[in-house]
Amino acid sequence: MLSMLHKLRHAHLSPLPPWPSAGGLALLALFIILFWFLTFPLKQGFDLNNIILETVVLVVALVAHAFILRLGITLLTGGWGLLLGSLLLGLLGEFTQESRQWSTLVERILEILGLALIAFGFYRSQRLLQTQLKKTQAKETRSRHLAQYDALTGLPNRILLQDRLAQSMAETLHSRQQLALLFLDLDRFKDINDSFGHEIGDAELIRVAGVLHGCVGPTDTVLRIGGDEFAIIQTHILDADEAALLAQRILGAIAEPHRLQGHKIHNNVSIGITLFPSDAPTAKQLLKNADIALYHAKHEGRNNYQLYMPDINARAHSRVALAKDLQSALESGDLHLQFQPQLDLTSGRTVSFEALLRWRHPQHGMLARQTFIRLAEETGLIIPIGAWVLEIACQTCFSWQQFHSGPLQVAVNLSPRQFRQPDLAGGIAAILERTGLSPPSLEVEITEGLLIEDMDSALKTLQSLSTLGVRISVDDFGTGHSSLTYLKHLPLDSIKIDRSFIHDIPEEIESRAITKAIIALGHSLNLEVVAEGVETQEQFLYLQEYGCDRVQGYFISKPLNAPRAQKWWQEKG
Ligand SMILES: Nc1nc2c(ncn2[C@@H]2O[C@@H]3COP(=O)(O)O[C@H]4[C@@H](O)[C@H](n5cnc6c(=O)[nH]c(N)nc65)O[C@@H]4COP(=O)(O)O[C@H]3[C@H]2O)c(=O)[nH]1
């Protein structure tokens, strides 16, 4: 090594050879090996182009070895220790040329110094390697964290669920206790997102994550396993009661009304619970059970929890199949509308029809409305189905109006999910435009409960519908435990007294009092009052006597198919 450095120094003294001599080539080979040895670790993570460039630079630099030490081309390689060592040796080579009388001792010292600098280059490259390794490890840890944890809430995600579950199951087996797996699904998250935007939606998810953390014990795990789905692994419990207690705590905490960026938010959650080892021996089966129990909770009207029971499995399966059938029912024409007349009590004429959805299932025949409409609402199918109902109802009403000159309206029920669509009024305006129906000929019916849930956004939607000129009616009035003050703030046209009050008049004193009060209240607010579910002549006469404006019910007519309703309208309109 020393002799080679010596040769390197003396290369300055002789004229530059046209091509490297054998010694030069040996030196070149040595430097290449040395260079690669010293800087190879640094190249990990460099791109191929850089490595090729560096190698070319090095080869050129070494071939022109007479200049290499001065030119400092190796600067580009990043091997600082190597460069400095070589540079110093080169400079000193020149120096020794002029002062050959300097002792060999000085030469030796300088050679040692050169070697020390090369060693420094090596040391430095190792340090750089360590830093690089640390950076790579940190990057790997970060990307592993990103893959396994939800970026928004910081909770473990679905990928970690299996892992954590398996770990907790193993611990539970040893402890001879039980473990509960809870699946949670927010009932109103889509509506929050649609009504207030994604920023508030995100803030709500973060709030929920915090609430869940506040409810669980220190050894339990909270995970976010989907958009609005969370899971909890509750460990060290003795029986289902402990899981139920946790679920109750969560239901109460999530339902707490709160404000996010000035918006009043109401949210609920449905929870499905299954236990290990009592419900299932494997993680796969546990996950399935929790899913089934959650589905059951949703079916039971949301905002509740359900413990897994083997028989809900079969029911859940049939609902999944039914949801699939409902999806294809729109295209296959299995859905149709019936129309129930509404009678004006002053004129005695039919002035409106309520459009009611029917589904004749190819295998199961006519299906119960409440069941399949709830299913449509839960699955989101109510959006396309509701739009179809509006379209057909408007089309039908417009075509009837062409046959008869009397005033005619059609009333269409809007489900909560439909009502919370971002541009409901725009969608309805387009349907009116397409079908040719004038806006006042369409009445939309919304439930009282829907208004109470979120007054602020309901008011905005109602205002846009009212601006469009569509009539607005509050269905099932009297059942929603609402504050009556909201009535005067909303742009309503009519209220429909709930069937349950009409059912008990004239016999029951309370129902009579409520019916009379609703009629008086409606009139004092300038609203039209409609009674639904009128089944008897007594009810009809009572309502007429107390000034109800319109009646609807089996006493007048059951819901009719479109041709029969048209005939009815031509005769009684
Ligand atoms: N016992 C009794 N019942 C009477 C009488 N007169 C009418 N009805 C029934 O009362 C319901 C009136 O509709 P609703 O209160 O809006 O209640 C509706 C409404 O909330 C919903 N619904 C029906 N069609 C649609 C629709 O197209 N979209 C949405 N979102 N909901 C719908 O399903 C509910 C039930 O509808 P239907 O089963 O068709 O039941 C209809 C109708 O057949 C009567 O004298 N006695």
| Number of residues in the chain | 573
Dump pLDDT digits (tens) for 101-142.
544 555 556 556 656 655 665 566 667 667 777 887 888 877
Strand partners, 359: 335
Please provide the average confidence, as pLDDT, over all residues in the chain.
Answer: 81
Report CA-CA distances (Å) from 524 to 238, 489, 527: 59, 14, 7
CA-closest residue to ligand 1 atom 32: 413
What are the pocket residues of ligand 1 if the criterion is a CB atom closer than 6 Å to any ligand atom? 340, 356-357, 369-370, 373, 386, 389, 413-415, 445, 475, 499, 532-535, 553-554, 559
* Ligand 1 center–CA 181 separation, angstroms: 39
pLDDT in tens, 384-424: 999 999 999 999 999 999 987 778 999 999 998 899 888 89
Which residue's C-alpha comes closest to atom 39 of ligand 1? Answer: 356
In a mutational test of the pocket of ligand 1, which residue from 343, 391, 532 has the highest number of ligand atoms less than 8 Å from its CB? 532
Question: Ligand 1, closest atom to CA 414?
Answer: 30
* Residue labelled with tokens 């670790």: 41
What is the pLDDT confidence band of residue 206, given thresholds at 50, 70 and 90? Answer: very high
For the question of whether the overall pTM of this predicted structure is more than 0.80, the answer is no
Nearest CA to ligand 1 atom 44: 533
Give the number of C-alpha atoms closer than 13 A to the C-alpha of residue 153, restricted to the C-beta side.
Answer: 27
Cα of first residue to Cα of last residue in the chain, in angstroms, is 114
Which of residues 51 and 377 earns the better pLDDT score?
Answer: 377
Cα 56 from Cα 61, distance rounded (Å): 8
| 151 alpha carbon – ligand 1 mean position (Å) | 45
Nearest CA owner, ligand 1 atom 42: 559
- Residues 573 and 570: their CA atoms lie apart, in Å, by 6
CA 421 to ligand 1 centroid distance, Å: 22
Please work out, in degrees rounded to the nearest 5, the angle formed at the alpha carbon of residue 79 by the alpha carbons of 77 and 85: 125
What pLDDT was estimated at residue 548?
A: 97
- Sorted by sequence, the CB contacts under 8 Å of residue 256 that are 6+ apart come out as none
CA 279 – CA 172 distance, rounded (Å): 14
Q: Which residue in this structure is represented by tokens 């003795």?
A: 238
Pull the structure tokens for residue 106. 């000085």
Q: Give the span between the Cα atoms of 489 and 55, in whole angstroms.
A: 80
Give the orientation angle of helix 424-435 with respect to helix 382-401, to 10 degrees: 40
Q: What confidence tier does 167 reach under pLDDT thresholds 50, 70, 90?
A: very high
515-536 pLDDT, tens per residue? 999 999 999 999 999 999 999 9
Among 335, 342, 354, 356, residue to substitute to test ligand 1 (most atoms within 8 Å of Cβ): 356
CA distance 32 to 37: 8
Cα–Cα distances (Å) from 295 to 187, 290, 355, in that order, read 12, 9, 30
Pinpoint the alpha helices (H) of 437-478. 448-453, 455-468
CA of 368 to the centre of ligand 1 (A): 11
Ligand 1, atom nearest to 552 Cα:
6
Distance 356 CA to ligand 1 centre (A): 6
Ligand 1 atom closest to residue 369's alpha carbon, by position in its atom list: 38
> Between 368 and 19, whose confidence is greater?
368
The two counts, helices (H) then strands (E), for the chain are 23, 17
| Statement: residue 435 has pLDDT above 80 | yes
Candidate from 330, 370, 373, 385 with most ligand 1 atoms within 8 A of CB, to mutate: 373
Say whether pLDDT at 493 is over 60.
yes
Domains recognised in the chain with CATH numbers = 2-141 (no CATH), 158-308 (3.30.70.270), 338-356+381-572 (3.20.20.450)
Please list the alpha-helical segments (H only) found in 158-239: 158-175, 189-196, 198-215
